[in-house]
């Protein structure tokens, strides 16, 4: 299956505080942009994969709103932040086996409303019911479950390995530098120093505000088709070379330490093996970065450095512009926009094509894209082939 | 003349037991921390798989459906902690920043809770803790943890 399918189209809408539009409207625009980008028509699509999220609109009924007809592949898929990789894998398998020929994969969301609070949108109300065990955590003041659980994971890593805020801050600053070269980034035109990082308020200590990703309204879509067909279309094909998923399991059992040892290890090994490449061959990294800590622990688990040495590894700024390991080159979720796994994926496509403009990494034959869902619970890895493939 | 009521501290959320969680809250009211235990292999486990999920139907280890409520000793150590600075609920306004703690119980189960009777700056990972029950209403008490001697 390696290299037999490719991403032929990419659509990214306006991002951030864009109000007054439905999730469906954002999704439709992203798909329209991706079709235009590929040089395809709506009628060419025979597959639709929807990244299920908080929005009830991200469900199979989206097909009807979009007016897509005679589909051979339809699903709303969810492994949270790892879904982008799992969707691409399913699309590629369907195309390789002849079940579908052109599949749109889409993420859309509109959690922000004018005058509303971004934190409320992700406060965790509505996860489960407000009775029974689900109501217990509110008595503990455990709101915003993602912030809290990543803070707990980060604190654990700091305790075990001495990871510092200077080191986490280096990740945030590097990505903000990348964002200054990305006109689509919400933090474009808003540079940040390490001192700014330290000065940013605590959200849930040890997480500063600038350790945490943005919240965005918008949508991203990609069109997956056969490699053969992609070569006849408008854009340089971005080949799908390798996939891997890993879901290690329970957070609440003492014999495991999933906050510190994540599925990135296994999913990375699977994807690299399928692509037939080594970690050292990767030119560009687009890592899921809901928090700075996620980047650090993912680098360790992929094996770029030993477990516990992530802090020292990133400290020299090697992830930022001009560094030896260009990572999250559009600014990532921390500084560009938060479209779950479609943030790293979209920038991966741009880099693999060589269309990054000012921020383009010179060598872009192999791009590794990671996905991460829950609190480091579900992981996906996708290897994209650009250049000559 | 009646004084107008100018301030009102909103009440903190009090858990509402449902059918499957009632034994846990009944235990807490009587000062007992209940976990789930497998009758087939004796493994202890948290009641649910995580936030927003129902009672575990089967043993996490041997997959037996023969589970029971069983008392935990109530002792453990601090696995990790975070300090909540963001205000989500006005009822917590006076307590910011307050801790959210994960306690690793001696039974090999981790649970999210708060540490009480300990200043934030005195929290340290690995510190020995013991359960204590805080009564929130006539019906409801919740397990929290306080420092203990080794």
Number of alpha carbons in the 13 Å side-chain half-sphere of residue B38: 16
In chain A, the number of structural domains is: 1
Asked if residue A299 is part of any domain, the answer here is yes
CA dist list (Å): B143 to A150, B51, B75: 23, 17, 12
Asked if residue A133 is part of any domain, the answer here is no
**Mean local confidence (pLDDT), B95-103:** 97
The pLDDT assigned to B5 comes to 57
What is the CA A342 to chain-centroid distance, rounded?
5
A257 pLDDT band, cuts 50/70/90, is confident
User: Is residue A248 less than 8 Å (CB to CB) from chain B?
Assistant: no
Percent residues over pLDDT 70 in chain A: 96
Q: What angle do CA A24, A26, A30 make, to 5 degrees?
A: 115
d(C-alpha B32, C-alpha B146), whole Å: 15
Is B100–A255 a contact, with Cβ atoms under 8 angstroms apart? Answer: no
What is the CA A91 to chain-centroid distance, rounded?
17
Alpha helices in chain B (DSSP H): 22-29
Task: Write down the catalytic residue from A80, A288, A291, A302.
Answer: A288
What phi and psi, each to the nearest 5 degrees, are found at residue B138?
-60, -35
State yes or no: pLDDT of A213 exceeds 50.
yes
Q: Which domain holds residue A257?
A: 5-112+214-385
What the block records as the tokens of A87 is: 């969707």
User: Is residue A209 less than 8 Å (CB to CB) from chain B?
Assistant: no
Q: What angle do CA B7, B9, B10 make, to 5 degrees?
A: 130
A103 pLDDT band, cuts 50/70/90, is very high
What the block records as the tokens of B47 is: 């009641």
Tell me the chain A residues in contact with residue B136 when contact means C-beta distances shorter than 8 Å.
Answer: 139
Tens digits of residue pLDDT in A20-50: 999 999 999 999 999 999 999 999 999 999 9
What pairing do the DSSP bridges indicate for beta strands A202-205 and B75-84?
Answer: antiparallel
User: Is residue B104 less than 8 Å (CB to CB) from chain A?
Assistant: yes
Axis crossing angle, helix A264-275 with helix A292-302, rounded to the nearest 10: 50
A362 pLDDT band, cuts 50/70/90, is very high
What phi and psi, each to the nearest 5 degrees, are found at residue B148?
-135, 165
Asked if residue A20 is part of any domain, the answer here is yes
**Mean local confidence (pLDDT), A64-91:** 97
User: B residues 50-89 near A, CB within 8 Å?
Assistant: 50-53, 55, 60, 79-86, 88-89
Q: How many CB atoms lie within 10 A of CB A308?
A: 15
User: Is residue B21 less than 8 Å (CB to CB) from chain A?
Assistant: yes
Closest CB to A152 among B12, B102, B105: B102
What is the CA A296 to chain-centroid distance, rounded?
15
**Mean local confidence (pLDDT), A212-241:** 98
User: Is residue A256 less than 8 Å (CB to CB) from chain B?
Assistant: no
Number of alpha carbons in the 13 Å side-chain half-sphere of residue A222: 31
The pLDDT assigned to A122 comes to 65
**Mean local confidence (pLDDT), A10-21:** 96
Average model confidence (pLDDT) across chain A: 95
Q: What angle do CA A26, A106, A354 make, to 5 degrees?
A: 100
Is A136–B15 a contact, with Cβ atoms under 8 angstroms apart? Answer: yes
The pLDDT assigned to B62 comes to 95
Is the separation of the CB atoms in A86 and A340 below 8 Å?
A: no
What pairing do the DSSP bridges indicate for beta strands A102-109 and A47-51?
Answer: parallel
State yes or no: pLDDT of A120 exceeds 70.
no
Q: Can you give the length of chain B in residues? A: 150
Is the separation of the CB atoms in A351 and A360 below 8 Å?
A: yes
Asked which of A130-144, A149-163, A291-305, A366-380 is least confident by mean pLDDT, the reply is: A130-144
CATH code for position A272: 3.40.47.10
The pLDDT assigned to B86 comes to 94
Is the separation of the CB atoms in A293 and A307 below 8 Å?
A: no
Task: Write down the catalytic residue from A150, A161, A239, A338.
Answer: A338
The pLDDT assigned to A268 comes to 98
Residues whose CB falls within 8 Å of the CB of residue A323, separated by 6 or more in sequence, listed in order: A174, A316, A317
**Better-predicted residue by pLDDT, A82 or A119:** A82
**Mean local confidence (pLDDT), B59-65:** 95
What is the CA A187 to chain-centroid distance, rounded?
17
**Catalytic status, residue A338:** yes
The pLDDT assigned to A389 comes to 41
Asked if residue A127 is part of any domain, the answer here is no
**Mean local confidence (pLDDT), B68-87:** 97
**Mean local confidence (pLDDT), A170-194:** 98
What residue in B sits closest to A144 (Cα-Cα)?
B88
Is B49–A123 a contact, with Cβ atoms under 8 angstroms apart? Answer: no
Is B47–A132 a contact, with Cβ atoms under 8 angstroms apart? Answer: no
State yes or no: pLDDT of A175 exceeds 50.
yes
Percent residues over pLDDT 90 in chain A: 89
CA dist list (Å): B104 to A7, A154, A255, B41: 45, 17, 10, 20
In three-state secondary structure terms, B22 is helix
Predicted structure pTM score:
0.95
d(C-alpha B88, C-alpha B130), whole Å: 28
B3 pLDDT band, cuts 50/70/90, is low
Helix H, strand E, coil C: the string for chain A is CCCCEEEEEEEECCCECCCCCCHHHHHHHHHHHHHHHHCCCHHHCCEEEEECCCCCCCCCCHHHHHCCCCCCEEEEECECECHHHHHHHHHHHHHHCCCCCEEEEEEEECCCCCCCCHHHHCCCCCCCCCCCHHHHHHHCCCCCHHHHHHHHHHHHHHHHHCCCHHHHHHHHHHHHHHHCCCCCCCCCCCCCCHHHHHHCCEEEECEEHHHECCCCEEEEEEEEEEHHHHCCCCCCCEEEEEEEEECCCCCCECCCCCCCCCCHHHHHHHHHHHHCCCHHHCCEEECCCCEHHHHHHHHHHHCCCCCCCHHHHHCCCCCCCCCCCCECCCCHHHHCCCECEHHHHHHHHHHHHCCCHHHCCCCCCEEEEEEEECCCCEEEEEEEECCCC
What is the CA A19 to chain-centroid distance, rounded?
23
Asked if residue A37 is part of any domain, the answer here is yes
**Mean local confidence (pLDDT), A10-18:** 97
Residues whose CB falls within 8 Å of the CB of residue A60, separated by 6 or more in sequence, listed in order: A50, A74, A75, A76
Asked which of A328-332, A384-388, B93-97 is least confident by mean pLDDT, the reply is: A384-388
The pLDDT assigned to A252 comes to 76
d(C-alpha A286, C-alpha A344), whole Å: 5
The pLDDT assigned to B8 comes to 65
User: Is residue A189 less than 8 Å (CB to CB) from chain B?
Assistant: no
Asked if residue A250 is part of any domain, the answer here is yes
User: Is residue A140 less than 8 Å (CB to CB) from chain B?
Assistant: yes
Tell me the chain A residues in contact with residue B79 when contact means C-beta distances shorter than 8 Å.
Answer: 156
Is A132–B104 a contact, with Cβ atoms under 8 angstroms apart? Answer: no
Is the separation of the CB atoms in A11 and A212 below 8 Å?
A: no
DSSP B95: G
Asked if residue A271 is part of any domain, the answer here is yes
Residues whose CB falls within 8 Å of the CB of residue B42, separated by 6 or more in sequence, listed in order: none
Task: Report which of A59, A12, A51, A53 is spatially closest to residue A32, judged by C-alpha positions.
Answer: A12
Is A253–B82 a contact, with Cβ atoms under 8 angstroms apart? Answer: no
Ranges of each domain in chain B = 22-147
Which neighbouring-strand residues pair with A291?
Answer: A212
Which neighbouring-strand residues pair with A50?
Answer: A76, A106
């Amino acid at each position: 299956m390696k290299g037999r399918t490719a991403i032929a189209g990419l659509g990214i809408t306006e991002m951030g505080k864009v109000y007054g539009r439905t999730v469906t409207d954002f999704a439709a625009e992203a798909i329209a942009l991706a079709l235009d980008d590929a040089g395809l028509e709506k009628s060419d699509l025979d597959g639709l994969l929807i990244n299920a999220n908080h929005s009830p609109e991200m469900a199979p009924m989206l097909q009807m709103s979009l007016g897509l007809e005679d589909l051979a592949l339809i699903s709303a898929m969810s492994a949270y932040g790892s879904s982008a990789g799992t969707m691409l894998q399913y699309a590629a398998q369907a195309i390789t086996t002849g079940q579908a020929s052109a599949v749109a994969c889409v993420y859309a969301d509109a959690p922000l409303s004018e005058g509303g609070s971004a934190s409320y949108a992700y406060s965790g109300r509505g996860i489960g019911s407000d009775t029974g065990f689900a109501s217990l955590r509110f008595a503990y003041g455990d709101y915003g479950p993602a912030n809290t659980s990543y803070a707990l994971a980060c604190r654990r890593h700091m305790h075990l390995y001495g990871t510092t805020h200077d080191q986490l801050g280096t990740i945030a600053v590097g990505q903000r530098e990348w964002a200054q070269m990305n006109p689509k980034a919400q933090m474009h035109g808003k540079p940040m120093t390490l001192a700014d990082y330290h000065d940013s308020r605590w959200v849930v200590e040890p997480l500063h505000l600038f350790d945490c990703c943005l919240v965005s309204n918008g949508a991203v879509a990609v069109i997956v088709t056969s490699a053969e067909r992609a070569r006849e279309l408008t854009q340089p094909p971005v080949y799908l070379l390798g996939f891997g998923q890993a879901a290690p399991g329970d957070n609440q059992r003492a014999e495991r330490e999933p906050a510190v040892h994540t599925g990135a290890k296994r999913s990375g090994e699977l994807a690299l093996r399928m692509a037939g490449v080594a970690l050292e061959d990767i030119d560009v990294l687009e890592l899921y970065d809901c928090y700075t800590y996620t980047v650090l622990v993912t680098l360790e688990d992929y094996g770029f450095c030993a477990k516990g040495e992530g802090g020292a590894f990133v400290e020299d700024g090697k992830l930022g512009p001009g560094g030896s390991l260009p990572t999250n080159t559009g600014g990532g979720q921390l500084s560009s926009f938060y479209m779950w796994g479609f943030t790293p994926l979209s920038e991966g496509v741009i880099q693999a094509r060589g269309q990054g403009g000012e921020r383009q990494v010179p060598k872009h034959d192999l791009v590794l894209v990671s996905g991460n869902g829950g609190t480091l619970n579900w992981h996906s890895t996708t290897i994209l082939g650009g250049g000559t493939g | 003349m009646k004084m107008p009521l100018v301030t009102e501290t909103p009440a903190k959320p009090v858990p509402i037991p449902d059918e499957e969680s009632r034994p846990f809250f009944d235990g807490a009211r009587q000062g007992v921390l209940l976990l789930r235990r497998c009758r087939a292999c004796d493994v202890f486990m948290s009641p649910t798989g995580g936030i927003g999920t129902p009672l575990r139907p089967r043993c996490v280890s041997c997959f037996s459906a023969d589970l029971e409520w069983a008392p935990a000793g109530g002792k453990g150590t601090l696995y990790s902690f975070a300090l909540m600075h963001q205000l989500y609920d006005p009822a917590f306004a006076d307590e910011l920043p307050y801790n959210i703690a994960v306690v690793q119980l001696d039974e090999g189960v981790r649970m999210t809770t708060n540490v009480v009777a300990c200043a934030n700056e005195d929290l340290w990972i690995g510190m020995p803790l013991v359960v204590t029950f805080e009564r929130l209403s006539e019906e409801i008490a919740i397990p929290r943890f306080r420092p203990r001697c080794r």
